[in-house]
């Protein structure tokens, strides 16, 4: 039950992240790089505050907690691999986002995520039943059917960056399986990611013409853009990723990969509700196929680990 609850909340947070990004970037309230930096900073600040309060309360009741468990929680500070993966994911996604159509970007991103996480699951000997393989294939077909109409032939550089972003997110998710304190691990991952901000600014200065930032003007950043970036960071990313790290130890890598195919569906639903986007029959059919296939995949219990 916990795994289901945590997973659903995390997927909704991922979809909200997509919504915030579309609202901020598509409407020109803020540029992609400023959005990414503010997203990382706001997430780190929010999580640092929450982690400080959490650690203080944990210390206050240390006598009620087994010492070994207490030390394990306090020693969980994420990892540099997670932090680097987080930065690579956010950076590559932001650069590629402005060059790719929504459908193209989603197809490349989630394909890379699926290959990374399912590939790792197979490497770790997570076996799938025939029914699970069938459900996965059907879910992928539904996902392609949903995204293909808005897809276009991408540039090689943008497609490569989005694929790298997907691999990085897959690695970041896999790292969550070993965390003991999801809140502390996520907080430290975001705090470490701030060390990359100066590097991002330096790269931006060197390669403005190559990565589409030549027209960025700080004065063009609006209050709405800042608020959306902070909401994306503090709420959808900071809290959402913490909950995702709570779910990951309870899921197989293959399960965690497949359920993420629901994110575009949830994002589209949020777009209909909050952005008055059009609800089409294609979306209804594709969503039904994806959600039904994912449900079949999750409910099938025959996969074993050998």
pLDDT in tens, 245-291: 999 999 999 999 999 999 989 988 998 888 888 888 888 999 999 99
Tokens of 178: 């070993």
Pick the closest to residue 148 from 103, 105, 106, 112 (CA basis).
103
Q: What is the pLDDT of residues 157-207, one digit of tens each?
A: 888 989 999 999 999 999 999 888 999 999 999 999 888 767 766 665 665
Domain count, the chain: 1
User: Is the residue at 183 inside a domain?
Assistant: yes
Query: What is the rounded average pLDDT of the residues 210-215?
Result: 51
Q: Is 140 exposed, middle or buried (0-12, 13-18, 19+ CB in 10 A)?
A: middle
Conformation bin of residue 276: beta by default, left when phi > 0, alpha when psi is -120 to 50: left
* Average pLDDT in the chain: 85
Please name the residues in contact with 231: beta carbons below 8 A apart, sequence gap of 6 or more. Answer: 20
Conformation bin of residue 28: beta by default, left when phi > 0, alpha when psi is -120 to 50: left
* Residue 175, domain extent: 2-299
Cα-based torsion angle of the residue sequence 141, 117, 99, 39 in order, rounded to the nearest 10 degrees = 130
Helix runs in the chain, H state only: 2-21, 32-60, 67-75, 80-97, 102-123, 130-147, 156-175, 182-193, 197-206, 223-230, 240-247, 253-259, 263-275, 281-299
User: Is the residue at 251 inside a domain?
Assistant: yes
Residue 209 confidence class, pLDDT cut points 50, 70, 90: low
For residues 21 and 273, is the Cβ–Cβ distance under 8 A? no
User: Is the residue at 305 inside a domain?
Assistant: no
Question: How many Å apart are CA 10 and CA 244, to the nearest integer?
Answer: 5
CA 160 to chain CA centroid, Å, is 18
User: Is the residue at 157 inside a domain?
Assistant: yes
φ, ψ for residue 155, nearest 5 deg: -75, 150
User: Is the residue at 249 inside a domain?
Assistant: yes
User: Is the residue at 103 inside a domain?
Assistant: yes
Which has more pLDDT, 63 or 219?
Answer: 219
User: Is the residue at 306 inside a domain?
Assistant: no
Q: What is the pLDDT of residues 97-156, one digit of tens each?
A: 767 777 788 889 999 999 999 999 999 989 889 999 999 999 999 999 988 877 777 788
């Amino acid at each position: 039950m916990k795994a289901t609850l945590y997973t659903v909340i995390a997927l909704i947070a991922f979809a909200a992240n997509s919504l915030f990004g579309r609202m901020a970037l598509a409407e020109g309230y803020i540029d992609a790089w400023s959005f990414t930096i503010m997203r990382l900073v706001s997430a780190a600040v929010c999580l640092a505050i929450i982690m400080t309060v959490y650690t203080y309360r944990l210390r206050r009741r240390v006598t009620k907690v087994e010492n070994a468990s207490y030390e394990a929680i306090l020693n969980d500070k994420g990892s540099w691999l997670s932090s680097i993966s987080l930065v690579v994911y956010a950076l590559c996604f932001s650069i590629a986002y402005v060059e790719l159509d929504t459908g193209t970007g989603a197809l490349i991103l989630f394909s890379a995520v699926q290959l990374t996480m399912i590939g790792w699951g197979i490497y770790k000997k997570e076996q799938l039943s025939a029914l699970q393989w069938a459900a996965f294939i059907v879910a992928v077909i539904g996902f392609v059917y949903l995204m293909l109409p808005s897809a276009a032939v991408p540039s090689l550089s943008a497609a490569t960056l989005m694929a790298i972003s997907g691999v990085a997110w897959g690695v970041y998710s896999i790292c969550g399986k070993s965390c003991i304190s999801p809140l502390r691990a996520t907080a430290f991952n975001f705090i470490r990611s701030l060390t990359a901000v100066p590097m991002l600014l330096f790269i931006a200065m060197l390669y403005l013409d190559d990565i589409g930032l030549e027209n960025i003007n700080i004065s063009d950043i609006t209050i709405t853009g800042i608020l959306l970036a902070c909401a994306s960071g503090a709420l959808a990313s900071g809290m959402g990723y913490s909950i995702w790290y709570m779910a990951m130890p309870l899921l197989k890598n293959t399960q965690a990969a497949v359920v993420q195919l629901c994110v575009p569906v949830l994002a589209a639903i949020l777009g209909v509700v909050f952005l008055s986007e059009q609800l089409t029959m294609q979306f209804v059919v594709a969503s039904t196929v994806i959600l039904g296939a994912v449900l079949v995949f999750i409910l099938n219990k025959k996969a074993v680990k050998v």
